[in-house]
């Protein structure tokens, strides 16, 4: 059997042995059954009789063994016959049988979850928590924990009373039981600081346990509880007590050492003060396994301070002479990190590195050069004297990273190294054989050389540019080559400013995990997840996400705050856009910064989380900050209701030893919950609207669905925010777009026009520095991805619909890059609408020909670009600029359309909100056909309202329309009756729509792709609808439901949004208007100067949105806090509310 | 929790395979063999290997690989602790745990695996309890009689009570004619000393192993010269009856007086020790398992008395010769002596010939061992306050491609009886039992080398 031979033919004979009254034989028969019963279900049924005898055997060992074995056999018949005996065994007088039965319930639930619930085994398990025998309690706890971990709709919640009982049992359990019980304490959410302190105090002795599993799980619980402590003073002694056990664990087996070290790293990031003065405990022994050594090195690095830097460096230098290549490299790299982290130690580090270079050991030298590059970046003009030494080793460099680093150094100091041109020339010889990394570095270095010493570089530059643009396949290199080429040929001065600009500071902070990720990992101390530093959901399919339970006591105190430099980054990402972080721009002149996000995916996830949990946390949970004074209106007793619910619970708990009362171990079996947990299992739902991973695929799908060229560019729209965050090497979808960009400038032209125009208007200055204009155009080429992502929304979504999320997201990197020169005129998040409005007054639809340049800004733009362009490129450039101007005008015109020609929503609350029509298809792209449109919901049915405008000389007819698959399966339910549109006239059409068609997830979710066929051709476009059209009229929820859902949904399913300048006459008006658009008011409360609405909505797919809308009485602003299991839709939902509230 | 446990031999053949959950198949055993055991990279980069959503945890012992498999985000520390325990269980059942003993005890191992894990959750892994009902050949006959015939008298019940009760580690019906308890204090000194002679890291990992042969359910109290206890209660230093008996022994042991106390940085206890009481008043109280067990482990970092000082001089004379001068001084009372001392002095891989000379009385023998790339110097007995020296000249063959020698550290191995590097002393061991019998207690001290490294 062990050897893998199939013994199942002996089944019959083996079963016959079941009756032999010998324990040993029985055990073997059972083992046989476990192994083969699944394969031979029909024979397994024969064993049932034997089992039935055994479960009634007077010997408890036999009873237990029978129950245990039956649980392993996942055969219907066996499981059926298990149920009754199991019920008895759970109440058996023998604890050994009870503890085995508890496990059997878990086995059963893995076989059939519903069975366990139907047969009320869960309640019986809960009863076992009060069992007198500690082993039984431990197994029951373990079973409950795993059942809740795996079940989508069962959530384990323990209150303090249960927790205290469990902790009492802890003292009597064996070591494994202690682990299970401690683990279950992670399901306690302390309601005040003293609860957390009590638990910590009571489990503190476990840190002395000999089993490292117990110690680590105890540390996990303590690390979790520390988030709920209100006083820093109480934390310090606790942290002091954590250090010794951690060091002691380093004396265990190497495997446990490794786990401990990985966890120490996590703990150190959150609580930097632990393990102070323990540095030496982490010095590597010669015969430590390599994984322990590498992990120790990381800890040493985090523990290095100014005081001990000297000792650490000596130690690292020692490691750098060892045998294992990885270890040596990491040691060398660590020396560089210390130089960057601790300025005072930099001198010493550089000296140590130089010593290492003298060893001439190939990989040591290469590694040292890589870190020295970073040191040069960090401390310019300090260590350049060592360049000579570095250059001695040019020949030995064969690794790309080292070559690139050396090239960077030479390029950066091209003017100080006499023969820099010769050296770079040598490197250039093998240019085409090098990797992209080296090619990029070489390209930049040679351009630098040319700028600094034009005579020295003049031979090399044309060569490298030619190769880069013609012979290299990598789009990154090609793009950069083009950029340099154009830059150098148009304006060398400009090129100097750009190429030799100051580089952003680098820090050693790249090592750190993001706070939200760190917080999640700290809830996983000791587990696999903590070793891999990944949330469990990334490698375990069913894993539930853990988060800090919301409670008034949640404080997240820190003793030594993480360095300030991190702070603004987190905040700005939280403020400006939900899904994207302003990542370090991959500007051409930057070596891969240390701070480059390790994985943009996790960053996205975490930043999205940040919003829901961290930055706005205070505001988002109405029960934390809410002030209660003042009388409350009778029907609005939201708070009171909640209180009484909690009181009830307590009362039940208070009823003595009633563990089974359900209030203590709260199993919530409602369906809303199940949906919620499913959602939280899906990592992409947390990542928010801009899901990275879906980008390439959606692009592909689009391409295949509509293979029109114009759409390629449009399809890039959903990538807006996320594409910026991607490391340059991943920009694979871009080359096509780039080509398109250079050949026909329309899309990007539009956006840059809009941008520059917008910025000018916003700044109120019509005379712009010509350089700045030039730069704007240039910068778009440089960060073409940015330009592209901007372009799409700009053309397809007009004016007010450029959501705040898309705009600043795309802009922030550009402004970082150009920070010094252009003073970030783009940072104004709303440059667009003023521009649009200013055009409105000037233009009337249809009448203004596209050629007219009616604003000063646009003509300035054209003029300057003409003057600054050099002959060779001026044609292209001027064409571009012309296009810019034309597009800018166009955009203006579009807006005038949308506001004047579209349906005007009435301020009166009797009419549902319909967004104004926007241009879907632009006459310039087609043969004179312009389509404007919007989506509306009237009387429960969805409609698309369109205007077809014919600007061509011929009549257009035979219209047909088709929708591509979209997120909610919106599809036309009737045909398009547009008839024939005569030249220079227009037709308004309503197209009835239904949901329920074929679905495909779009980015953003409300995106919809449409194809229109007519006599003028087939046109493709995409647009987004306002989410309110999908809200059902049946979305009214009662107060009880609202309360329960609001309370049950954790904070990561919540987010908040601020809307400004509401257009309402009264609260009544607002309430009606919202109700009219299926945002139903559940309750309403007024305070002195504000009113709070509690609303519910139901989406067509059944998901509910619960919101709290706090409105100032002057309607200046409203804070919308929304909870929904459908977290990805919350921003869109809130946007819809905002639009409803701000529409005329 | 664990989905499966496999035991492989050195070649990667599965000796034992026990699946606990339906989320893995037996074929995952091959996955581990292919990816880890017979992986071409000889160095194991991690004790945990995750392939897809399946994680393999392994430890190696003798010629065996013990491997646990999980499919969830299990507590890795717990899994390894379980594997360590499983190993201990094997050793204690079979004397040694290797391929042969596994093959000879198939049935028993499966029985044990069935008992110690339920659905992948570790249950009771106490050897004492398990031996009651999972038995080896020799004792089986009597035990089986008990199981089969004495159902009525309730013996199985006492087994189950034992297996699930509060003292799973001890039976309550133990009787000895002579009640004795032996305490061994075993300290491992860890040292990393730089080539310049500065101590980079020195600490002591102590182990207190107890062998108890006591009747009934004895309640023991144990006292050390723990600084925290003595500081709290200065009078307690030399008053207890038990301590005077032991104190006498200590008197002759080394130069350390009774009044000195030791600062214990951290300690861990066997699960029989009541952690709550230790936490409140640092009293070590427990009901011991029968026979040998590790009562506690402790760690000290302050004031470590290094038993040996090593002063190495290693000179590379050009590319063909290396000269060694190694001086070792013992740093403990002249009445004591170290035994089984081995000094390993590494040499470069291209060493050809060594001329070695040792000086000092009883200086032992030193030999060049080409397999280890080291000079191995064995000293059977090293007296306290003594000095021994070794000089050696090593010839090297010229190498076509010069490879830097990584200069591994000199390593020492030794044992010193009746000496503790930390200065720790047992102050008392009190035994209380209902029947109030007299018990005899013995204490022994030993210091040995942990990882005693001197860089050169």
Structure tokens, B381:
């007995």
- Higher pLDDT, residue A363 or B241: A363
A277 touches B: beta carbon within 8 Å: no
Contact A135 B451 (CB under 8 A): no
A260 Cα to chain B: minimum distance (Å)? 8
A285 touches B: beta carbon within 8 Å: yes
Strand-strand pairing, B199-213 and B180-193: antiparallel
Return d(Cα B181, Cα B210) in angstroms, integer. 7
A176 Cα to chain B: minimum distance (Å)? 6
Structure tokens, A136:
């039984």
| A to B CB pairs, distance under 8 Å | 265
Coil, strand or helix: which one is A439?
helix
A406 Cα to chain B: minimum distance (Å)? 24
Q: Is it the case that residue A138 has pLDDT exceeding 70?
A: yes
- Winning range, highest mean pLDDT, from A559-568, B142-151, B313-322: B313-322
- A529: chain B residues, CB-CB within 8 Å: 73
Helix (H) or strand (E) holding A43: helix A41-54
- B59: chain A residues, CB-CB within 8 Å: 253, 255
A70 Cα to chain B: minimum distance (Å)? 12
pLDDT of residue B65: 92
What is the per-residue pLDDT across A320-352, written as a single tens digit (0 to 9) for each?
888 888 899 999 999 988 998 888 888 989 999
A240 touches B: beta carbon within 8 Å: no
Q: Using pLDDT thresholds of 50, 70 and 90, give the confidence band for residue A1091.
A: confident
Contact B119 A106 (CB under 8 A): yes
- Winning range, highest mean pLDDT, from A18-32, A551-565, A801-815: A18-32
Q: Using pLDDT thresholds of 50, 70 and 90, give the confidence band for residue B360.
A: confident
Q: Which residue has the tokens 């096509």?
A: A736
B453 Cα to chain A: minimum distance (Å)? 8
**For chain A, how big is the Rg over CA atoms in Å?**
34
Contact B121 A176 (CB under 8 A): yes
- Higher pLDDT, residue A591 or A996: A996
Q: Using pLDDT thresholds of 50, 70 and 90, give the confidence band for residue A21.
A: confident
Q: Is it the case that residue A368 has pLDDT exceeding 60?
A: yes
Q: Is it the case that residue B144 has pLDDT exceeding 80?
A: no
Q: Is it the case that residue B154 has pLDDT exceeding 90?
A: no
DSSP character string of B189-244: EEEEE-TTS-EEEEEEEEEEEEEEE--SS-EEEEEE-BHHHHHH-GGGGGT-HHHH
pLDDT of residue A624: 34
A64 touches B: beta carbon within 8 Å: yes
Return d(Cα A450, Cα A414) in angstroms, integer. 9
Q: Using pLDDT thresholds of 50, 70 and 90, give the confidence band for residue A689.
A: very low
- Higher pLDDT, residue B137 or A495: A495
pLDDT of residue A750: 36
Average pLDDT over residues A504-520: 75
What is the per-residue pLDDT across A950-970, written as a single tens digit (0 to 9) for each?
887 778 888 888 888 888 888
pLDDT of residue A4: 60
Interface test with A, best of B164, B269, B275, B405 (most A CBs within 10 A): B164
- B406: chain A residues, CB-CB within 8 Å: 321-323
pLDDT of residue A952: 79
Let me know: does A44 contact A83? Beta carbons within 8 Å. no
Average pLDDT over residues B8-21: 89
Arithmetic mean of pLDDT over chain A: 70
Helical spans, DSSP H, in A508-585: 515-522, 528-532, 566-576
A3 touches B: beta carbon within 8 Å: yes
Share of chain A above pLDDT 90, in %: 8
A245 touches B: beta carbon within 8 Å: yes
Average pLDDT over residues B245-267: 56
Q: Is it the case that residue A713 has pLDDT exceeding 60?
A: no
For A35, the closest chain B residue by CA position comes to B19
Coil, strand or helix: which one is A975?
coil
Q: Using pLDDT thresholds of 50, 70 and 90, give the confidence band for residue A492.
A: confident
Q: Using pLDDT thresholds of 50, 70 and 90, give the confidence band for residue A215.
A: very high
pLDDT of residue B160: 73
Average pLDDT over residues A657-678: 36
What is the per-residue pLDDT across A52-68, written as a single tens digit (0 to 9) for each?
888 888 888 888 888 99
B268 touches A: beta carbon within 8 Å: yes
Contact B78 A217 (CB under 8 A): yes
Return d(Cα A164, Cα A198) in angstroms, integer. 9
What is the per-residue pLDDT across B318-347, written as a single tens digit (0 to 9) for each?
888 899 999 999 999 899 999 999 999 999
For B401, the closest chain A residue by CA position comes to A361
Residues 226-245 of chain B whose Cβ lies under 8 A from any Cβ of chain A: none
B335 Cα to chain A: minimum distance (Å)? 31
B143 touches A: beta carbon within 8 Å: no
- Higher pLDDT, residue A267 or A417: A267
Q: Is it the case that residue A5 has pLDDT exceeding 80?
A: no
Q: Is it the case that residue B83 has pLDDT exceeding 90?
A: yes
Q: Is it the case that residue A778 has pLDDT exceeding 60?
A: no
pLDDT of residue A1005: 80
Interface test with A, best of B19, B78, B163, B449 (most A CBs within 10 A): B78
Contact B265 A110 (CB under 8 A): no
- Higher pLDDT, residue B110 or A814: B110
Q: Using pLDDT thresholds of 50, 70 and 90, give the confidence band for residue A508.
A: low
Residues 11-30 of chain B whose Cβ lies under 8 A from any Cβ of chain A: 14-17, 19-22, 26
Contact B299 A244 (CB under 8 A): yes
Contact B266 A244 (CB under 8 A): yes
Contact B451 A285 (CB under 8 A): yes
Smallest CA-to-CA distance from A572 within A618, A607, A619, A520 is with: A607
pLDDT of residue A1054: 84
pLDDT of residue A910: 60
- A311: chain B residues, CB-CB within 8 Å: 200
Contact B72 A543 (CB under 8 A): yes
B141 touches A: beta carbon within 8 Å: no
Contact A133 B192 (CB under 8 A): no
Contact B17 A254 (CB under 8 A): no
ipTM above 0.90, yes or no: no
- Higher pLDDT, residue B159 or A884: B159
With DSSP H G I counted as helix, E B as strand and the rest as coil, what are the percentages for chain A, rounded to 5?
60, 10, 30
- B44: chain A residues, CB-CB within 8 Å: 289-291
Let me know: does A695 contact A723? Beta carbons within 8 Å. yes
Q: Using pLDDT thresholds of 50, 70 and 90, give the confidence band for residue A883.
A: low
A76 touches B: beta carbon within 8 Å: no
Average pLDDT over residues B266-277: 86
Smallest CA-to-CA distance from A508 within A333, A307, A258 is with: A333
- Winning range, highest mean pLDDT, from A903-907, A986-990, B174-178, B443-447: B443-447
pLDDT of residue B368: 92
Query: The whole model's pTM is what?
Result: 0.62
Q: Using pLDDT thresholds of 50, 70 and 90, give the confidence band for residue B82.
A: very high
pLDDT of residue B157: 65
Let me know: does A469 contact A478? Beta carbons within 8 Å. yes
What is the per-residue pLDDT across A457-469, written as a single tens digit (0 to 9) for each?
788 888 888 888 8
Residues 103-132 of chain A whose Cβ lies under 8 A from any Cβ of chain B: 103, 106-107, 110
pLDDT of residue A892: 40
- Angle of CA points A660, A664, A668, to nearest 5°: 95
A103 Cα to chain B: minimum distance (Å)? 7
B274 touches A: beta carbon within 8 Å: yes
Contact B43 A133 (CB under 8 A): no
B406 Cα to chain A: minimum distance (Å)? 5
Strand-pairing partners, residue B396, are B351
Q: Is it the case that residue A475 has pLDDT exceeding 80?
A: yes
SS3 labels along B352-396: EEEEEEEECCCCCEEEEECCCCEEEEEEEEEECCCEEEEEEEEEE
For B52, the closest chain A residue by CA position comes to A539
What is the per-residue pLDDT across A75-130, written as a single tens digit (0 to 9) for each?
888 888 888 889 888 988 888 899 999 999 999 888 888 888 888 888 888 888 88
A251 touches B: beta carbon within 8 Å: yes
Please give the DSSP secondary-structure letter assigned to residue B37: I
- A210: chain B residues, CB-CB within 8 Å: 268-271, 294, 296-297
What is the per-residue pLDDT across A535-588, written as a single tens digit (0 to 9) for each?
888 888 777 777 787 788 787 777 654 443 333 333 333 333 333 333 333 333
Q: Using pLDDT thresholds of 50, 70 and 90, give the confidence band for residue A759.
A: very low
Contact B77 A59 (CB under 8 A): no
pLDDT of residue B136: 55
pLDDT of residue A849: 41
pLDDT of residue B24: 87
Smallest CA-to-CA distance from A200 within A171, A221, A184 is with: A221
pLDDT of residue B8: 92
Average pLDDT over residues A843-855: 39
Please tell me which of the candidates A31, A110, A247 has its beta carbon nearest to residue B114: A31
Q: Using pLDDT thresholds of 50, 70 and 90, give the confidence band for residue B156.
A: low
Average pLDDT over residues A181-206: 90
pLDDT of residue A949: 83
Contact A208 B278 (CB under 8 A): yes
pLDDT of residue B191: 92
Residues 320-379 of chain A whose Cβ lies under 8 A from any Cβ of chain B: 321-324, 359, 361
B93 touches A: beta carbon within 8 Å: no
- A527: chain B residues, CB-CB within 8 Å: 73-76
Q: Is it the case that residue A773 has pLDDT exceeding 90?
A: no
Contact A4 B77 (CB under 8 A): no
- Angle of CA points A234, A237, A238, to nearest 5°: 85
pLDDT of residue A54: 84
Average pLDDT over residues A991-1014: 82
pLDDT of residue A851: 38
- B111: chain A residues, CB-CB within 8 Å: 24, 27
- Higher pLDDT, residue A532 or A814: A532
What is the per-residue pLDDT across A1016-1028, written as a single tens digit (0 to 9) for each?
788 888 888 888 8
């Amino acid at each position: 059997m062990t050897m893998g031979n199939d013994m199942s033919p002996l089944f019959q004979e083996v079963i016959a042995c079941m009756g032999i009254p010998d324990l040993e034989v029985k055990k073997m028969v059972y083992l046989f059954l476990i192994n083969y019963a699944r394969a031979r279900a029909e024979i397994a049924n024969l064993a049932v009789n034997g089992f039935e005898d055994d479960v009634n055997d007077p010997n408890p060992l036999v009873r237990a063994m029978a129950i245990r074995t039956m649980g392993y056999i996942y055969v219907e018949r066996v499981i059926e016959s298990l149920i009754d005996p199991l019920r008895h065994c759970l109440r058996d007088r023998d604890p050994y049988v009870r503890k085995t039965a508890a496990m059997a319930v878990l086995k059963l639930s893995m076989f059939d979850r519903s069975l366990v619930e139907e047969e009320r085994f869960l309640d019986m398990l809960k009863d076992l928590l009060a069992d007198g025998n500690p082993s039984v309690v431990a197994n029951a706890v373990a079973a409950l924990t795993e059942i809740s971990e795996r079940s989508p709709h069962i959530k384990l919640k323990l209150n303090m009373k249960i927790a205290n009982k469990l902790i009492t049992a802890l003292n009597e359990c064996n070591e494994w039981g202690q682990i299970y019980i401690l683990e279950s304490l992670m399901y306690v959410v302390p309601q005040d600081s003293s609860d957390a302190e009590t638990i910590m105090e009571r489990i503190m002795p476990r840190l002395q346990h000999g089993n490292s599993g117990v110690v680590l799980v105890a540390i996990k619980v303590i690390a979790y509880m520390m988030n709920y402590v209100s006083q820093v003073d109480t934390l310090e002694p606790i942290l002091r007590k954590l250090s010794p056990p951690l060091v002691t664990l380093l004396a265990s087996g190497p495997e446990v050492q490794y786990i401990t070290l990985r966890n120490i790293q996590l703990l150190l990031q959150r609580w930097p003060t632990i393990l102070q003065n323990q540095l030496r405990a982490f010095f590597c022994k010669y015969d430590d396994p390599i994984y322990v050594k590498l992990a120790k090195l990381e800890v040493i690095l985090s523990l290095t301070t100014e005081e001990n830097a000297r000792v650490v460096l000596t130690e690292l230098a020692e490691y750098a002479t060892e045998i294992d290549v990885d270890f040596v490299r990491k040691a060398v790299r660590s020396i560089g990190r210390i130089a960057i982290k601790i300025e005072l130690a930099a001198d010493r580090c550089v000296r140590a590195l130089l010593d290492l270079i003298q060893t001439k050991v190939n990989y040591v030298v290469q590694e040292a050069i890589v870190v020295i590059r970073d040191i040069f970046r960090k401390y310019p003009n300090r260590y350049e004297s060592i360049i000579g030494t570095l250059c001695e080793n040019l020949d030995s460099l064969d690794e790309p990273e080292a070559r690139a680093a050396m090239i960077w150094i030479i390029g950066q100091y091209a003017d100080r190294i006499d023969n820099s041109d010769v050296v770079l020339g040598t490197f250039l010889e093998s240019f085409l054989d090098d990797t992209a990394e080296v090619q990029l570095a070489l390209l930049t270095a040679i351009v630098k050389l040319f700028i600094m010493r034009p005579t020295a570089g003049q031979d090399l530059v044309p060569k490298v540019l030619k190769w880069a643009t013609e012979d290299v396949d990598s789009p990154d290199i090609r793009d950069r080559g083009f950029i340099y080429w154009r830059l150098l040929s148009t304006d060398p001065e400009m090129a100097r400013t750009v190429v030799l600009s100051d580089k952003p500071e680098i820090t050693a902070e790249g090592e750190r995990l993001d706070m939200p990720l760190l917080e999640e990992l700290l809830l996983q101390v000791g587990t696999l997840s903590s070793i891999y530093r990944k949330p469990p959901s990334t490698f375990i399919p069913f894993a539930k996400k853990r988060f800090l339970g919301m409670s008034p006591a949640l404080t997240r105190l820190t003793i030594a705050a993480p360095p300030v430099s991190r702070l603004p980054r987190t905040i700005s990402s939280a403020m400006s856009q939900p899904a994207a972080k302003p990542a370090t721009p991959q500007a051409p002149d930057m070596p891969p910064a240390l701070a480059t996000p390790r994985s943009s995916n996790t960053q996205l996830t975490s930043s999205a989380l940040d919003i829901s949990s961290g930055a706005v946390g205070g505001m988002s949970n109405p029960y934390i900050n809410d002030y209660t004074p003042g009388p409350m209106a009778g029907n609005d007793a939201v708070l009171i209701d909640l209180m009484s619910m909690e009181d009830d619970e307590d009362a039940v708990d208070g009823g003595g030893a009633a563990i089974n009362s359900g209030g203590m171990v709260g199993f919530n079996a409602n369906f809303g919950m199940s949906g919620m947990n499913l959602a939280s299992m899906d990592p992409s739902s947390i990542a928010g609207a801009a899901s990275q991973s879906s980008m390439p695929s959606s692009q592909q799908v689009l391409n295949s669905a509509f293979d029109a060229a114009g759409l390629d560019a449009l399809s890039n729209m959903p990538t807006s925010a996320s594409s910026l965050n991607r490391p340059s090497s991943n920009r694979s979808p871009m080359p096509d777009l780039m080509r398109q960009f250079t050949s026909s400038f329309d899309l990007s032209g539009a956006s840059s026009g809009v941008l520059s125009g917008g910025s000018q208007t916003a700044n109120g200055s019509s005379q712009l520095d010509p350089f700045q204009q030039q730069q704007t155009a240039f910068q778009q080429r440089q960060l073409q991805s940015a330009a592209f992502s901007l372009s799409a929304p700009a053309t397809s979504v007009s004016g007010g619909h450029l959501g705040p999320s898309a705009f600043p997201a795309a802009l922030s990197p550009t402004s970082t890059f150009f920070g010094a020169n252009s003073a970030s005129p783009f940072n104004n998040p709303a440059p667009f609408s003023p521009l649009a409005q200013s055009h409105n007054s000037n233009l009337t639809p249809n009448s203004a020909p596209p050629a007219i340049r009616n604003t000063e800004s646009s003509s300035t733009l054209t003029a300057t670009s003409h003057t600054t362009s050099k002959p060779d490129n001026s044609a292209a450039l001027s064409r571009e600029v012309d296009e810019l101007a034309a597009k800018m005008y166009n955009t203006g015109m579009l807006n005038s359309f949308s506001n004047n020609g579209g349906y005007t929503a009435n301020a009166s609350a009797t009419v549902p909100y319909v967004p104004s029509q926007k241009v879907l298809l632009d006459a310039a792209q087609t043969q004179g056909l312009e389509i404007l449109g919007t989506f509306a919901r009237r009387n429960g049915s969805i409609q698309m309202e369109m205007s077809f405008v014919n600007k061509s000389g011929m009549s257009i007819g035979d219209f047909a329309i088709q929708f591509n698959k979209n997120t909610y399966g919106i599809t036309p339910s009737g045909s398009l009756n547009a008839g024939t549109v005569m030249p220079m006239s227009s037709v308004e059409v309503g197209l009835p729509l239904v949901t329920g068609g074929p679905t495909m997830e779009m980015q953003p979710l409300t995106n919809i792709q449409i194809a229109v066929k007519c006599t003028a051709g087939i046109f493709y476009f995409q647009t987004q609808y306002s989410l309110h059209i999908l809200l059902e009229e049946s979305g009214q929820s009662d107060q009880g439901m609202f309360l329960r859902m609001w309370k049950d949904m954790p904070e990561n399913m919540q987010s908040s949004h601020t809307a400004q300048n509401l257009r309402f006459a009264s609260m009544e008006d607002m309430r009606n208007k919202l109700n009219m658009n299926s945002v139903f008011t559940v309750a309403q409360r007024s305070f002195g100067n504000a009113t709070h609405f509690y609303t519910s909505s139901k989406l067509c797919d059944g998901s509910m949105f619960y919101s709290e809308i706090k409105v100032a009485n002057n309607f200046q602003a409203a804070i919308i806090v929304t909870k929904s299991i459908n977290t990805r839709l919350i921003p869109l939902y809130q946007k819809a509310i905002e639009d409803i509230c701000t529409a005329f | 929790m664990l989905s499966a446990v496999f035991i492989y031999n050195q070649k990667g053949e599965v000796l034992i395979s026990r699946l606990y959950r339906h989320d893995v198949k037996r074929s995952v055993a091959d996955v581990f063999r292919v990816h880890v055991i017979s992986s071409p990279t000889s160095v194991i980069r991690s004790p945990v290997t995750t392939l897809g959503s399946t994680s393999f945890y392994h430890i190696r012992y003798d010629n065996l690989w013990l491997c646990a498999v999980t499919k969830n985000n299990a507590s890795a520390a717990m899994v390894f602790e379980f594997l360590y325990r499983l190993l201990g269980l094997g050793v204690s059942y079979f004397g040694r745990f290797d391929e042969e003993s596994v093959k000879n005890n198939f049935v028993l191992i499966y029985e044990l695996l069935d008992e110690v894990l339920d659905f992948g959750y570790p249950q009771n892994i106490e050897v004492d309890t398990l031996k009651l009902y999972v038995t080896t050949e020799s004792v089986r006959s009597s035990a089986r009689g008990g199981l089969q015939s004495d159902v009525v008298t309730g013996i199985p019940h006492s087994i189950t009570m034992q297996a699930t009760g509060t003292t799973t580690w001890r039976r309550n019906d133990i009787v000895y004619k002579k009640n004795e308890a032996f305490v061994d204090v075993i300290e491992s000194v860890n040292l990393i000393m730089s080539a310049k002679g500065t101590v980079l890291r020195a600490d002591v990992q102590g182990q207190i192993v107890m062998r108890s042969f006591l009747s009934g359910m004895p309640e023991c109290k144990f006292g050390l010269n723990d600084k925290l206890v003595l500081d709290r209660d200065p009078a307690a230093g030399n008053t207890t009856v038990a301590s005077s008996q032991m104190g006498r022994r200590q008197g002759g042991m080394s130069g350390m007086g009774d009044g000195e106390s030791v600062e214990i940085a951290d300690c861990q206890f066997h699960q029989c020790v009541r952690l709550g009481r230790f936490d409140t008043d640092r009293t070590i109280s427990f009901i011991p398992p029968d026979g040998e067990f590790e009562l506690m482990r402790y760690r000290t970092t302050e004031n470590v008395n290094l038993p040996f000082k090593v002063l190495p001089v290693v000179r590379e004379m050009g590319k063909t010769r290396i000269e060694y001068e190694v001086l070792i001084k013992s740093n403990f009372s002249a009445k004591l002596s170290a035994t089984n001392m081995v000094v390993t002095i590494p040499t470069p891989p291209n060493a050809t010939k060594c001329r070695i000379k040792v000086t000092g009385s009883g200086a032992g023998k030193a030999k060049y061992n080409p397999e280890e790339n080291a000079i191995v110097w064995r000293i059977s007995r090293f007296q306290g306050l003594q000095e021994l020296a070794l000089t050696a000249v090593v010839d090297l063959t010229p190498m076509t491609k010069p490879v830097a020698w990584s200069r591994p550290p000199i390593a020492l191995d030794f044992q010193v009886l009746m000496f503790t590097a930390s200065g720790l002393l047992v102050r008392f061991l009190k035994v209380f039992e209902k029947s109030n019998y007299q018990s005899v207690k013995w204490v022994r001290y030993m210091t040995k080398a942990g990882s005693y490294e001197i860089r050169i």
